[in-house]
């Protein structure tokens, strides 16, 4: 089994779509209205500091001062955007979390755990993620349908993975394992 990804890798995978969208928008201003909708939702859910920095990047700012006074998660996101603008090959792959359970499980479990405590930011993120997964088809669509059950406390792997193939069952089991670890702390 692959080692658990680092916290930075998990952050990159959870926010891969946003990071890629920002970088794409710096190269194509016609994408800005779509990104603005995402950023408005993010700001409404407590990510104002991150959104402010992203708007500065869209206005052309690439300075080091963008990194000042950011929490770890925001710093990883901004650094990935700035690096991705300079070298697009460094951008996180939004499909990677969906295809690699060891990458997806810790991030999903963390968001589910936070959402279950009433954290509105985590609830918003996990709902956006579930919506993206619902369009992927197969086991990912089935997984998107059980996110609410996970938030509500369902932990029976047979109930949660009903109708899934081996890869989906493995992902559900990995998420449940990670949730178990989080609940011990």
Q: Which tens digits make up the pLDDT trace of 23-75?
A: 999 999 998 988 888 888 778 767 889 999 999 999 999 999 999 998 888 89
Q: Are 107 and 86 in the same domain?
A: no
Q: H or E element: which one contains 38?
A: helix 32-44
Whether 123 maps to a domain, the answer reads: yes
Q: How confident is the model at residue 166 (pLDDT cuts 50, 70, 90)?
A: confident
Domain tally for the chain?
A: 2
Give the Cα separation of 164 and 162 in Å (integer). Answer: 6
Give the Cα separation of 101 and 1 in Å (integer). Answer: 10
pLDDT for the residue 2: 47
Residue whose C-alpha is closest to residue 93's, from 17, 3, 5, 26? 17
**Domain range spanning residue 74?**
7-90
Give the Cα separation of 159 and 53 in Å (integer). Answer: 42
Where among 90, 109, 139 does a domain terminate? Answer: 90
Whether 1 maps to a domain, the answer reads: no
Q: For a pLDDT cut of 70, what percent of the chain falls above it?
A: 90
Where among 90, 117, 149 does a domain terminate? Answer: 90
Q: Are 22 and 67 in the same domain?
A: yes
> Which 3 state secondary structure label does DSSP give 160?
helix
Where among 39, 66, 90 does a domain terminate? Answer: 90
Q: Are 53 and 118 in the same domain?
A: no
Q: Are 108 and 81 in the same domain?
A: no
């Amino acid at each position: 089994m692959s080692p658990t990804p680092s916290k930075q890798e998990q952050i990159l995978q959870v926010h891969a779509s946003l990071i890629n969208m920002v970088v794409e928008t710096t190269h194509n201003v016609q994408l800005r209205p779509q990104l603005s909708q995402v950023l408005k939702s993010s700001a409404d859910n407590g990510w104002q500091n991150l959104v402010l920095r992203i708007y500065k990047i869209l206005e052309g700012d690439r300075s080091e001062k963008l990194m000042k006074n950011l929490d770890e998660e925001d710093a990883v996101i901004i650094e990935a955007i700035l690096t991705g603008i300079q070298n697009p090959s460094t951008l996180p792959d939004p499909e990677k979390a969906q295809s690699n359970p060891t990458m997806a499980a810790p991030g999903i479990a963390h968001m589910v755990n936070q959402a279950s405590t009433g954290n509105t930011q985590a609830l918003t993120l996990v709902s956006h993620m579930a919506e993206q997964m619902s369009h992927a088809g197969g086991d990912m669509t089935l997984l998107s349908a059980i996110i609410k059950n996970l938030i509500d406390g369902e932990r029976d792997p047979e109930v949660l993975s009903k109708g899934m193939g081996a890869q989906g069952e493995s992902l559900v089991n990995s998420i449940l394992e990670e949730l178990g670890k989080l609940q011990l702390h």
